[in-house]
């Protein structure tokens, strides 16, 4: 039986391994297909030294991305699969988002400083990442001894609703879904367990082109998987899944395996999608 993991991160966003190291790990775990879904970045495909573009490998690669967006006053992540990651307009948008991410981190640091938390931007910026995230900030806080764990950093300071949190109002979820469509990709709603008013919001997203739901995810217990699977089937959504692998203990430290038949269905939908363009 063949398996896939459609949600992994490299050091081009907030993972700790290179894209090629991730492929080697997937191969050792008998995972046949992966999608590198870095936050607001496709550097893992385009970088000349570490990128996956045109790389010959035994592991199948589905071009992907995870876009950080906001809708209904909450942070929502949209996954894009089979994207045209060389599209000039798309790359221009990503550069804009990365700049906004940097400004967001700087504002969070400003709020932390106002709370008498001693940390500065240079401690976060010294990274290979093309897309700074709250995880980079949390790791820096752990390194400095400000908090004892990444989880504590989020729960005490930088999680949604906490005193140093800054939202992502610069990119609307509906805009992100349409962006994925424009680059010939399939838009999928990531880790739905984290979304308030999930059914209402998902129904709105379906109307504007959402094509799938991340049903299999480390934080989804069997009952949640059954629920999301039923929702996807009722609303004609594709079912996907992945580990959200970062390579450390913040997320699950192992890749997970979903049946390859789900990839085949994604490919069928992609073919239909291309034929209508």
**12-23 pLDDT, tens digit each:** 988 889 999 999
Kindly state whether residues 241 and 262 are assigned to the same domain: yes
Pairwise CA distance, residues 88 & 91, whole Å = 5
Kindly state whether residues 200 and 231 are assigned to the same domain: yes
Kindly state whether residues 268 and 178 are assigned to the same domain: yes
Kindly state whether residues 121 and 204 are assigned to the same domain: no
Give which of 64, 70, 58 is closest to 27, Cα–Cα: 58
Kindly state whether residues 153 and 174 are assigned to the same domain: no
- Which ranges constitute the DSSP H helices of 41-133? 43-46, 88-114, 122-125
| Percent of the chain that is helix, strand, coil (3-state, to 5) | 40, 15, 40
Kindly state whether residues 77 and 193 are assigned to the same domain: yes
Q: Establish if 98 belongs to a structural domain.
A: yes
Q: Is the pLDDT of residue 268 over 60?
A: yes
Q: Is the pLDDT of residue 249 over 90?
A: no
Q: Establish if 163 belongs to a structural domain.
A: no
Kindly state whether residues 24 and 106 are assigned to the same domain: no
Mean pLDDT score across all residues of the chain: 90
Q: Is the pLDDT of residue 54 over 80?
A: no
Average pLDDT value for residue range 5-11: 95
Q: Is the pLDDT of residue 89 over 60?
A: yes
Alpha-carbon separation of residue 36 from 15, 69, 154, 200, 259 (angstroms): 11, 18, 24, 29, 17
Kindly state whether residues 154 and 130 are assigned to the same domain: yes
Which 3 state secondary structure label does DSSP give 133?
coil
Show the domain range for 61: 3-85+170-275
Q: Establish if 179 belongs to a structural domain.
A: yes
pLDDT-wise least confident of 41-50, 51-60, 222-231: 51-60
pLDDT cut 90: percent of the chain above it: 69
Q: How confident is the model at residue 34 (pLDDT cuts 50, 70, 90)?
A: very high
Helices 134-143, 88-114: crossing angle, 10 deg rounding: 40
Domain CATH number, residue 42: 3.20.20.140
Q: Establish if 165 belongs to a structural domain.
A: no
Structure tokens at 147: 């908090």
Kindly state whether residues 186 and 258 are assigned to the same domain: yes
Q: How confident is the model at residue 236 (pLDDT cuts 50, 70, 90)?
A: very high
Q: How confident is the model at residue 213 (pLDDT cuts 50, 70, 90)?
A: very high
Taken in order 19, 267, 273, 205, is the CA torsion positive or negative?
Answer: negative
Domain CATH number, residue 102: 1.10.150
Domain total for the chain? 2
Supply φ then ψ for residue 30, to 5 degrees.
60, 40
Helix count and strand count (H, E) for the chain: 10, 9
Q: Is the pLDDT of residue 53 over 80?
A: no
Average pLDDT value for residue range 213-234: 96
Kindly state whether residues 114 and 228 are assigned to the same domain: no
Residue 101: its pLDDT value, please? 85
Residue 168: its pLDDT value, please? 74
Of residues 57 and 266, more confidence is placed in 266
Which of 158, 179, 198 finishes a domain? 158
Kindly state whether residues 121 and 65 are assigned to the same domain: no
Q: Is the pLDDT of residue 127 over 70?
A: no
Which of 158, 184, 210 finishes a domain? 158
Kindly state whether residues 52 and 110 are assigned to the same domain: no
């Amino acid at each position: 039986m063949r398996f896939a993991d459609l949600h992994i991160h490299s050091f081009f966003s907030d993972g700790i391994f290179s894209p090629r190291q991730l492929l080697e790990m997937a191969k050792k775990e008998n995972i046949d297909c992966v999608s590198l879904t870095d936050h607001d970045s496709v550097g893992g495909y385009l970088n000349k030294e570490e990128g996956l573009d045109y790389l010959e490998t035994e592991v199948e690669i589905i071009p992907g991305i995870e876009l950080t967006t906001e809708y209904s006053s909450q942070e929502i992540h949209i996954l894009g699969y089979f994207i045209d990651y060389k599209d000039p307009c798309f790359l221009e948008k990503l550069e804009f988002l990365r700049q906004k991410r940097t400004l967001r981190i700087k504002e969070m640091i400003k709020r932390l400083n106002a709370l008498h938390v001693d940390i500065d931007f240079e401690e976060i910026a010294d990274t290979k990442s093309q897309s700074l995230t709250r995880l980079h900030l949390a790791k820096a806080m752990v390194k400095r001894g400000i908090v004892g764990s990444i989880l504590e950093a989020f729960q005490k300071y930088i999680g949604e609703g906490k005193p140093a949190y800054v939202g992502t109002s610069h990119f609307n979820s509906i805009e992100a879904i349409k962006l994925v469509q424009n680059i010939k990709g399939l838009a999928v709603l990531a880790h739905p367990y984290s979304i308030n008013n999930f059914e209402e919001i998902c129904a709105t997203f379906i109307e504007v082109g959402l094509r799938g739901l991340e049903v299999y995810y480390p934080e989804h217990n069997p009952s949640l998987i059954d629920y999301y699977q039923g929702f996807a089937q009722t609303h004609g959504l594709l079912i996907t899944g992945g580990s959200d692998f970062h390579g450390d203990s913040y997320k699950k430290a192992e890749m997970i395996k979903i049946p390859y038949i789900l990839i085949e269905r994604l490919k069928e939908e992609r073919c239909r999608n291309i034929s209508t363009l």
